[in-house]
Chain A
Amino acid sequence: MTAKAILGHRAARRAAKLEATAVRLEALQLPNSGQWLRRAREMALARLNHMGLPDRRDEYWKFTDPNTLLQPEVLPAKILDITDAAMDFVAFDRLKIVFVDGVFDADASDDLSSEGLEIVRLAEAGASDIHWAREFYGTLEAEGQKPVDRPLAALNTVLATDGVVIRVTGKVSRPVSLIYLRRETDAEMILHHLVRVEEGAELTLLENGPGAARLNTVTEAWVADSAALHHVRTQGRDHERRAATHFFAQLGAQSVFKSFTLTANGALSRNESIVWLNGNGGSAHVAGAAMGDGKFHHDDTVFVTHAAPDCESRQVFKKVLRNGAVGVFQGKILVRRAAQLTDGYQISQALLLDETSQFLAKPELEIYADDVKCSHGSTSGEIDADQLFYLRARGVPEEAAQGLLVLAFLAEAVEEIAHEDLAEEIRRKLDGWVSRHN
């Protein structure tokens, strides 16, 4: 094909994609909401119409088929282990915010008023014309559409039926815990949260629960100068779940953002993290441990932009895969010209427990500053035979030895959790998974 023919082909493909998107979105009803929120939704819809819904031929969706995330009907998913998944973090003193089938449940939730914290439902903020959220809803999502389209995030901004907006003004020691419960096998959940951690403030945000048969969540977070946001999330054992999540975080000077996700099973999970280091000396750690057995497709897609000097970022992702499970990692570090003395680190590793499982990785560095330290690595491999033998020679039975090595493999990701008690909770869950799947 000549260059001209290729361009013609691309233009035709784009036209077809946009047309398909227009057809899909034509009959779309925007959720009832107050004026400014409706305007924000319409702007997101315009963005979405311009970029089109994703398909398998998009470079960013090369490894993960978005089809089941998009098809009009929700594929019913058996309700499994609701209690188990809902039990995460149960021992922690936390402020619980409960959603059932994607709808806020006031009775099951704690009183939302708390010192140093301001929490209201998205709908409530949307109904009030003077709410601060007005200036922010959908803005990080919009910014995150460059340089890569994230149509599912735009779709979320258009359609989100619920969510909370949280403003943190002090050092809040009690974590805010978002709990997603499910009652219907075909429940769909589209939640959009805003989190503003103001200067010098601190928050730990927890998320857990089976959620829905299909879920799409977007969190937009602003971490101001010298503020800290710790995010720990578990995606539970509901095998048929399909999830697309986006976590957008914009960081100020000397701020800290740490996000960790544990994923155990799930038919399809695509977790995107989009982080901007916009102030000097910021620190962003995004990590995940995923374990899949059988019908499991897990995709971590991360984009960290260093826009200011002296910042540090780490991406640490580990996956344990068996019985045909598929793991995907797409991770990028973009260092802008101004971001001198950047320290960027990225590692993605898969432990393949048999020959039927696969790991697909696309690590990327794009660096425009000249004085930076960036490293990345991606590996996939089996259990180390020498380590296994060493353990067995010391009397540890083969299965237990293998379990110990699986946990050891995941340890580096868990270490990214700042709070030791939360890390311990995650280790306990990993331990449980390993002993169930041995």
Chain B
Amino acid sequence: MLEIKNLHVKLEEEDKVILKGVDLTVEAGKVHAIMGPNGSGKSTLAYVLSGRDGYQVTEGSVTLEGEELLEMEPEERAALGLFLAFQYPVEIPGVGNMTFMRTSLNSIRKARGQEEMSSAEFLKVMRAKAKELKIDAEMLKRPVNVGFSGGEKKRNEILQMAMLEPKMCVLDETDSGLDVDAMRLVADGVNALRDAGRGFLVITHYQRLLDHIKPDVVHIMADGRIVKTGGPELALEVETNGYTEILAEAGAAA
């Protein structure tokens, strides 16, 4: 599904190298988690995948279902089926949540040569999916993310993901700022989308989200590289021992 090869990335504005050769393959139907201390490059990876400005790829490649991702505009990546759930969802005063969602969905459908979804059909689908995430109708009417609590913003991200039904979902610290109940809602939303045709890359600092979204593979990232890969037990090891020991061990091995 998603293939990242030897990815090197530096900041465009300054001479700071963030990613120093990331190799990662996410297969369809699998959930991969990336854990790592702050500043390891996790969020940069998410932004580079989605096509945000400000980063320069100096080496390496990324493909989604065989298509070169790095040359594409952000909207082309979305049309291809990539979805980034933002760590900090952006507030857009003046644009209603419904309008936003419908514009997004229909832009993607148009780019794929599909017919636009009718207003009536859209409303029906949106309401049903919102209900599953306990997002009330009032929230849908409000401007995008404006006045939303942290938990509401993250649920709104998952709602967008559910509406767009992407092939490859990248979740950037979706657990940050969530209380236990909100985390369960978000995790349920993600789990409902798990299927054989879809890949997930779940970026998180803490293990607790992975209690609810069980990963198939866990990677530890440090200083711009994947330093260790393992099964779900690796996440538990982080929880118990912290990063220091794992990093020391990985450093010794390298």
A residues neighboring B (CB under 8 Å): 385-387, 389-398, 400-401, 404-405, 407-412
Contacts and interface: CB of A to CB of B under 8 A. Distances in A.
A411 B78 contact: no
Contacts of B164: 394-395
B166 to A, nearest CB: 10
Interface in B79-101: 79, 84, 86, 89-90, 92-95, 99-100
Given A385-B53, A398-B75, A404-B103, A393 B95 contact: no
A395 B108 contact: yes
B104 interface: yes
B92 A392 contact: no
Contacts of A405: 92, 95
A387 B78 contact: no
A389 B52 contact: yes
A391 B99 CA distance: 12
Most buried by B among A385, A387, A412: A387
Most buried by B among A394, A396, A409, A410: A394
B89 A390 contact: yes
Contacts of B104: 391, 394-396
B78 A393 contact: yes
B107 A387 contact: no
Contact of B107 (A390, A396, A407, A411): A396
Q: Size class of B's contact patch?
A: 20 to 34
Most buried by B among A391, A395, A401, A407: A395
Contacts of A385: 53
Contacts of B78: 392-395
A289 to B, nearest CB: 12
Interface of B: 50-53, 73-75, 77-79, 84, 86, 89-90, 92-95, 99-100, 103-105, 107-108, 111, 143, 160, 164
Given A393-B51, A401-B75, 17 more contacts: A390-B86, A392-B51, A392-B74, A393-B75, A393-B84, A393-B86, A394-B164, A395-B107, A396-B75, A396-B103, A396-B107, A404-B99, A405-B92, A408-B95, A409-B94, A410-B94, A411-B93
Most buried by A among B53, B89, B94: B94
B111 A412 contact: no
A407 to B, nearest CB: 7
Contacts of B89: 390
Main secondary structure of the interface of B (DSSP, over half): helix
Contacts of A392: 51, 73-75, 78
A387 B90 CA distance: 6
Closest 9 pairs (CB-CB, A-B) = A408-B94, A395-B78, A411-B94, A395-B108, A394-B104, A392-B74, A390-B90, A395-B107, A408-B95
A387 B160 CA distance: 16
A46 to B, nearest CB: 48
A412 B75 contact: no
A386 B52 CA distance: 9
A397 B93 CA distance: 19
B69 to A, nearest CB: 13
A405 B99 CA distance: 12
Contacts of A396: 75, 103-104, 107
Nearest to B103: A396
A283 B84 CA distance: 46
Contacts of A401: 75
Contacts of B86: 390, 393
A391 B101 CA distance: 10
B94 A393 contact: no
A395 B84 contact: no
A378 B95 CA distance: 21
Contact of B100 (A394, A410, A412): A394
21 contacts: A389-B74, A389-B90, A390-B86, A390-B90, A392-B51, A393-B50, A393-B52, A393-B74, A393-B75, A394-B100, A395-B78, A395-B111, A395-B164, A397-B75, A397-B107, A400-B103, A404-B95, A405-B95, A407-B95, A408-B143, A411-B94
A393 B105 CA distance: 12
Nearest to B104: A394
Contact of B73 (A390, A398, A412): A398
A389 B75 contact: no
A387 B86 CA distance: 12
